[in-house]
Amino acid sequence: MNDTATLLRGGRVLDAHRGLDVVADVIVRRDGCTVAPDRVPRSARVVDVDGCWVMPGLVDLQVHFREPGFTHKEDLLSGSRAALAGGVTTCIVMPNTQPTLDDPALVREQSAKPLRHGGVRILVAAAATKGLGGTLVTDAAALKAAGAVALTDDGLPVLDDAVMAATFAACRAHDLVFLQHAEDLRQTQVDGHHAPMSESSAQRAAGVRGQPRRAESDVVARDIALAEAAGARYHVLHCSTAASLALVKAAKARGARVTCEASPHHLLLTDADVVKHGVTHPTSADDLDPNKKMNPPLRDVADRAALVQGLVDGTVDSVATDHAPHAAHEKARGFVDGPFGVIGLETAFAALLTFVHDGTITPLRAVELMTSGPARVLGMAGQIGTFAGDSGDVAVVDPRRPWAVTPSKLLSRSKNSAFLGRTFTGRVVQTYRRGLCVWQVV
């Protein structure tokens, strides 16, 4: 039985879906929250959150929990713990597991599992093509009936124009959003070898191959044209270049159903950060940090500035982590041969707070980017990421609490954070999932 109520007393309540920014009490129950309640159940547990922000549980649109298939990196339980420690109560998981989430039975199983663990809510983005092969379109109707909230081939983007057009038609017919990892692999891979970082002076100095920015924006441009023609909803995952963002902005101005997200690492870091601490002039790949290798790669200062501007002007709809755990021995293969990806669930909101502290965005906008923003992308506004929803999911943040990101603090099975060694101001101190306190900073 879980019918206990908690009264969070005296916090700053931020619910972007309702435009709410007010100091008030909140009652948290299994089946929902009440802001500024008229009466408080006598049995309610009282928690004083004076000075803290009380927000709906956060929503992360792009997460890899590695189960099934790669549980030495992460599994649903360890991933769920990491999410809850970051205030994230809803994760949209990507289909690149082993087996691939391209089958309705697998989607149904994946969606049901976490409830048995009592953990984070899992929503599945199912594969758009069989085995992420890019040729055979999956059964969108059956996948949606099984619980899928979106279609994507994530790291293996659909490059064939006809397959992409057929996918958009299916998305339109079944009211699913298509999530694109926009990368023209023909520009970024040579003989199956992937360029490990973005084209830049550091890349040339280190003597590794570079990914051109156009590899992203060319796909975004093609997709927007096809999505508009089909009347489909299209979302750019981890948008990383100024050119891609400009295309999204222009499409939105035309009224196209186009959205995009930015990742904390692209918002805070650039290609210069790829060079290891203490190295002033990189001369080889050994001078580059494997924990700064992700795809899309870190870009230059102009790209980063454009993404930050997108937070301000509304072009960016959501901040999502692309939480991509890899074991230490895999990253130890080095910058060129190690895998792409960094974890991010536990640091995402703290990273985003950087832009509140420096006055770039308001607290309510920061909350929007990880609650009602991603909910809108999924077509789930009012259901998740708001106190109006029917689940007692809450994140409590102390916006002034400093903390250093160290491997021992991270609950994810993998420790490949791009922010190791960094000190953030602001930390998620409590998380409630379906009314239960499931995370508390000690």
Task: Give the Cα separation of 138 and 129 in Å (integer).
Answer: 5
Nearer to Zn ion, 155 or 264 (CB): 155
Which of 344, 324, 374 lies closest to 86 in space, CA to CA? Answer: 344
Is position 235 an interface residue for Zn ion (rule: CB under 5 A)? no
Number of residues that bind Zn ion (CB under 5 A): 3
Strand 45-48 with 189-190, pairing = unpaired
Task: Give the Cα separation of 169 and 75 in Å (integer).
Answer: 33
Nearer to Zn ion, 236 or 384 (CB): 236
- From 15-23, 174-182, 324-332, 347-355, span contacting Zn ion (CB under 5 A): 174-182
Strand order, beta sheet including 233-236: 58-63, 88-93, 121-127, 150-152, 177-180, 233-236, 258-262, 318-319
- From 73-81, 151-159, 192-200, 303-311, span contacting Zn ion (CB under 5 A): 151-159
For residue 410, the minimal CB distance to Zn ion (Å) is: 21
For residue 136, the minimal CB distance to Zn ion (Å) is: 21
- From 42-50, 152-160, 340-348, 377-385, span contacting Zn ion (CB under 5 A): 152-160
For residue 217, the minimal CB distance to Zn ion (Å) is: 15
Strand 20-29 with 6-15, pairing = antiparallel
Structure tokens at 272: 């210069």
The Cβ-side half-sphere exposure at 144, using a 13 Å CA radius, reads 15
Q: List Cβ neighbours of 338 (8 Å cut-off, separation of 6 or more).
A: 290, 293, 326, 330, 331, 332
Nearer to Zn ion, 292 or 433 (CB): 292
For residue 168, the minimal CB distance to Zn ion (Å) is: 19
Which of 15, 75, 184, 322 does the annotation list as catalytic? Answer: 322
Nearer to Zn ion, 52 or 126 (CB): 126
Task: Give the Cα separation of 170 and 128 in Å (integer).
Answer: 10
Which of 42, 123, 121 lies closest to 434 in space, CA to CA? Answer: 121
Nearer to Zn ion, 154 or 199 (CB): 154
For residue 185, the minimal CB distance to Zn ion (Å) is: 12
DSSP labels, 340-397:
P--B-TTTHHHHHHHHHHTTSS-HHHHHHHTTHHHHHHTT-BTTBSSTTSSS--EEEE
Give residues 273-302 in contact with Zn ion (rule: CB under 5 A): none
For residue 324, the minimal CB distance to Zn ion (Å) is: 8
Interface pattern 153-172 for Zn ion (x via CB under 5 A): -xx-----------------
For residue 255, the minimal CB distance to Zn ion (Å) is: 27
- From 148-156, 241-249, 312-320, 399-407, span contacting Zn ion (CB under 5 A): 148-156
Contact, 173 vs 140, CB < 8 A? yes
Give residues 41-100 in contact with Zn ion (rule: CB under 5 A): none
Apex 87 CA angle, 248 and 112, nearest 5: 85
The length of the chain, given as a count of residues? 442
Nearer to Zn ion, 236 or 378 (CB): 236
Interface pattern 18-37 for Zn ion (x via CB under 5 A): --------------------
| 112 three-class SS | helix
The interaxial angle of helices 301-313 and 242-253, nearest 10 deg, is 30
Nearer to Zn ion, 341 or 426 (CB): 341
Task: Give the Cα separation of 261 and 312 in Å (integer).
Answer: 13
Q: List Cβ neighbours of 24 (8 Å cut-off, separation of 6 or more).
A: 11, 13, 35, 36
The residue with its CB nearest to Zn ion is 181
For residue 414, the minimal CB distance to Zn ion (Å) is: 17
- From 14-22, 49-57, 150-158, 197-205, span contacting Zn ion (CB under 5 A): 150-158
Q: Output 402-409 pairs: Cβ under 8 A, ≥24 positions apart.
A: 402/427, 403/350, 403/427, 405/347, 409/346
Q: Binding residue for Zn ion (CB under 5 A) from 12, 66, 113, 181?
A: 181
Is residue 322 part of the annotated active site? The answer reads yes
Give residues 413-432 in contact with Zn ion (rule: CB under 5 A): none
The label of the residue with tokens 């102009």 reads 302
- From 42-50, 173-181, 343-351, 373-381, span contacting Zn ion (CB under 5 A): 173-181
Nearer to Zn ion, 154 or 368 (CB): 154
Nearer to Zn ion, 96 or 111 (CB): 96
For residue 145, the minimal CB distance to Zn ion (Å) is: 26
Which residues belong to the active site?
Answer: 322
Contact residues for Zn ion, defined by CB under 5 A: 154-155, 181
